[in-house]
Amino acid sequence: MGLDYLKRILTAKVYDVAIETPLDHAHALSLRTGNRVLLKREDMQSVFSFKLRGAYNKMAHLTPLQLEKGVIAASAGNHAQGVAVSAARMKCTATIVMPVTTPALKIDAVKRFGGDWVKVVLHGDSYSDAAAHAFELAKHHGLTFVHPFDDPDVIAGQGTVGMEILRQHQAPIHAIFIAIGGGGLAAGVATYVKQLRPDIKIIGVQTVDSDAMAQSLEQQQRVTLPEVGLFSDGTAVKLVGEETYRLCAQYLDGVVRVTTDEACAAIKDVFQDTRSILEPAGALAVAGLKQYAAQHGLENQTLVAISCGANMNFDRLRFVAERAEVGEQREAVFAVTLPEERGSFRRFCALLGPHNVTEFNYRMADSSVANIFVGVQVSSRGQADELASRFGESGFESLNLTDDELAKLHLRHMVGGRSQVAEHELLYRFEFPERPGALTKFLNSLNPGWNISLFHYRNHGADYGRILVGIQVPPEDRAEFDDFLTSLGYPVVNETDNPAYRLFLR
């Protein structure tokens, strides 16, 4: 069967619509991992993903009668665009069933690529709902279903990626890393590479919350997941293909699971090397490569990651940027308990030393202790542990929240609320030039004669840092406090009478 696939891949009809994508040296990633990292740039296809290969190869092998009747496919994005381009190229009508939750960006792309040859049908809340509806339409109208992964011609089309890798780099390769959703790309690449270069390891990569292939291989049978995570929507598959499972079970050397934070860090890594912004699924291979190399202590090896897609939703970029620092172990997040007394903030900041503060949230809620949420820039998890020890030795109880999803997703935005003990509170917004140490300098400039009752700061990478501060100032000190604000030299806005502040925080 392997030799049959080898022939299918070698004769696959993909280059009418696909290009042979470059195998680029990722300089920064190579330096960081201590290995030679090569990126197979499938994000450079016309539809910004490898899916074009399999869709076209499948349709190119249909009979004239099948093409005349038309095809149908179900997809939430990349496969749909591949079918649309193929339909327009072959002048074949195509019905694309997409979930109603599909972003308008992807629906518009399918219509643009397919033109008058494509009809988009929105149905259901998930790929599974859309696929079930597509199967019904296929039977009713006599249409040929173009499966996104579980089809020999689709698998062979994706396998041409492996063919190109071996042609482009004939020197030793330690491992090739491939994102897995339904398994089409991994099955195709693994089957081809193992026929010719069995010494090369093929490592699949999945997210921890969409690991159907990993669980299936572990249990030696296909496993259906009850739910899948949707951050990496391109690999959010509950049940892998029957044929893709068979081939992956035969040829894969393993599957690694990565977190959302690790995927975000990988998106940033690839951007720094290529200035291309991958979608989460497109960056999984890089995330898996980094994890695998670190766990196995790899050095001076050639590692290939397939950057398989760049159909990124713009509104996800803020989330990606925020989580990338944690994912690449460059930000540690803590809950720290300080005594509610003058000078505590300053003593705490002195403990941070040269570490840059990325986030600082606090709301006075108790007259004896203060609980703060703080993010600190670090270079490794080891530094985070050192900071936690330093806090404890100085009498500040702390809780490391770096891996706490509740804290990172929700609590960081919810530190606040009304305070029953913040008497004579004034609320001000400050701005200062954003540079290393700027927040610590600002804190040190605050007069310890007045107690801080609210503090909110997050470094968003802008040129100016913005801080919201509540300060307890007795009426008799107002004149002195106004003089103090003038002496600070920072732009400041008095928000004490802001109706939103009075509604939610007073």
pLDDT at 274: 96
pLDDT at 148: 94
pLDDT at 460: 67
pLDDT at 229: 84
Check which CATH number belongs to the domain holding 405 and give it. 3.40.1020.10
- Kindly give the interhelix angle for 2-10 and 242-251, rounded to the nearest 10 degrees: 110
pLDDT at 362: 86
Residue 91 region by backbone torsions, left for phi larger than 0, else alpha for psi between -120 and 50, else beta: left
pLDDT at 351: 82
- Cα-Cα-Cα-Cα dihedral sign, residues 267, 270, 271, 276: negative
Instruction: Work out how many domains the chain is built from and give that number.
Output: 2
Q: Is the pLDDT higher at 231 or at 267?
A: 267
Residue 475 and residue 405 share a domain: yes
pLDDT at 317: 85
Q: For 248-264, what is the mean pLDDT?
A: 96
Of 13-27, 66-80, 291-305, 308-322, the range with the lowest mean pLDDT is: 308-322
Residue 166 and residue 81 share a domain: yes
pLDDT surpasses 70 at 1: no
> What angle (nearest 5°) sits at the alpha carbon of residue 425, between those of residues 419 and 430?
110
Q: Is the pLDDT higher at 355 or at 110?
A: 110
Residue 319 and residue 338 share a domain: no
- Cα-Cα-Cα-Cα dihedral sign, residues 496, 498, 502, 506: negative
Residue 435 and residue 449 share a domain: yes
| Cα gap 211→192, rounded to integer Å | 23
pLDDT at 217: 98
Residue 368 and residue 251 share a domain: no
pLDDT tens-digit map of 195-241: 999 999 999 999 999 999 999 999 999 999 988 887 888 888 889 99
pLDDT tens-digit map of 323-340: 787 666 778 889 998 887
Residue 368 and residue 320 share a domain: no
Residue 336 and residue 314 share a domain: no
Q: Are 5 and 153 in contact (CB under 8 A)?
A: no
| Residue 20, CA distances (Å) to 8, 40, 41, 113, 447 in order | 17, 10, 9, 20, 63
pLDDT at 437: 65
Token output for 149: 């992964």
Final residue in a domain of this structure, among 276, 302, 324? 324
DSSP secondary structure, 335-386, as one string: EEEEESSTTHHHHHHHHHTTPPEEEEEEE---SSEEEEEEEEE-SSHHHHHH
Q: Are 387 and 355 in contact (CB under 8 A)?
A: yes
pLDDT surpasses 60 at 395: yes
Q: Is the pLDDT higher at 82 or at 486?
A: 82
Of 54-63, 122-131, 235-244, 494-503, where does the model show the most confidence? 54-63
Helices (H) then strands (E): counts for the chain? 20, 18
Average of per-residue pLDDT values in the chain: 89
| Residue 340, CA distances (Å) to 199, 368, 372, 378 in order | 62, 5, 11, 27
Which amino acid belongs to residue 278?
L
* Cβ count within 10 A of residue 70: 18
Q: Are 338 and 313 in contact (CB under 8 A)?
A: no
pLDDT surpasses 70 at 358: yes
Q: For 302-320, what is the mean pLDDT?
A: 90
DSSP state, residue 271: H
Cα pseudo-dihedral 387, 392, 394, 395, rounded to 10: 150
Per the structure, the complete domain to which residue 194 belongs is given by: 1-324
| Cα gap 450→347, rounded to integer Å | 16
pLDDT tens-digit map of 451-467: 888 888 887 665 677 88
| Total length of the chain | 506
Which residue, among 125, 131, 240, 132, has the nearest Cα to 179 in the 3D structure?
240
* Residue labelled with tokens 């509950």: 238
Residue 226 and residue 365 share a domain: no
pLDDT surpasses 80 at 143: yes
Q: For 267-293, what is the mean pLDDT?
A: 96
Residue 317 and residue 428 share a domain: no
Token output for 189: 């690449």
- pLDDT band at 488, cuts 50/70/90? confident
| Cα gap 493→475, rounded to integer Å | 19
Of 164-168, 357-361, 414-418, 496-500, where does the model show the most confidence? 164-168
pLDDT at 34: 97
pLDDT tens-digit map of 20-79: 999 999 999 999 999 999 999 999 999 999 999 999 999 999 999 999 999 999 987 899
Could you tell me which residues come within 8 angstroms of residue 302 by beta carbon, excluding any fewer than 6 positions away?
35, 36, 38, 169, 171, 172, 173, 174
The percent of residues in the chain predicted with pLDDT above 70, rounded, is 95
- pLDDT band at 178, cuts 50/70/90? very high
Q: For 374-401, what is the mean pLDDT?
A: 85
| Cα gap 453→472, rounded to integer Å | 7
pLDDT at 267: 96
DSSP state, residue 143: P
Final residue in a domain of this structure, among 324, 340, 373? 324
pLDDT at 106: 81
| Cα gap 67→249, rounded to integer Å | 33
| Residue 47, CA distances (Å) to 83, 100, 338, 358, 501 in order | 10, 21, 53, 37, 47
- Kindly give the interhelix angle for 242-251 and 152-168, rounded to the nearest 10 degrees: 30
Residue 182 and residue 101 share a domain: yes
Could you tell me which residues come within 8 angstroms of residue 438 by beta carbon, excluding any fewer than 6 positions away?
432, 465
Residue 340 and residue 314 share a domain: no
| Residue 212, CA distances (Å) to 218, 227, 387 in order | 10, 10, 38
| Cα gap 268→250, rounded to integer Å | 33
Q: Are 23 and 38 in contact (CB under 8 A)?
A: yes
Q: Are 279 and 238 in contact (CB under 8 A)?
A: no
Residue 419 and residue 281 share a domain: no
Q: For 273-297, what is the mean pLDDT?
A: 96
Q: For 285-291, what is the mean pLDDT?
A: 97
- pLDDT band at 438, cuts 50/70/90? low
User: Residue 292, Cα to own-chain centre: how many angstroms?
Assistant: 18
Q: Is residue 283 classed as helix, strand or coil in its secondary structure?
A: helix
Q: Is the pLDDT higher at 12 or at 340?
A: 12
Check which CATH number belongs to the domain holding 238 and give it. 3.40.50.1100
| Cα gap 145→370, rounded to integer Å | 61
pLDDT at 451: 83
Global pTM reads: 0.79
Final residue in a domain of this structure, among 295, 324, 353? 324
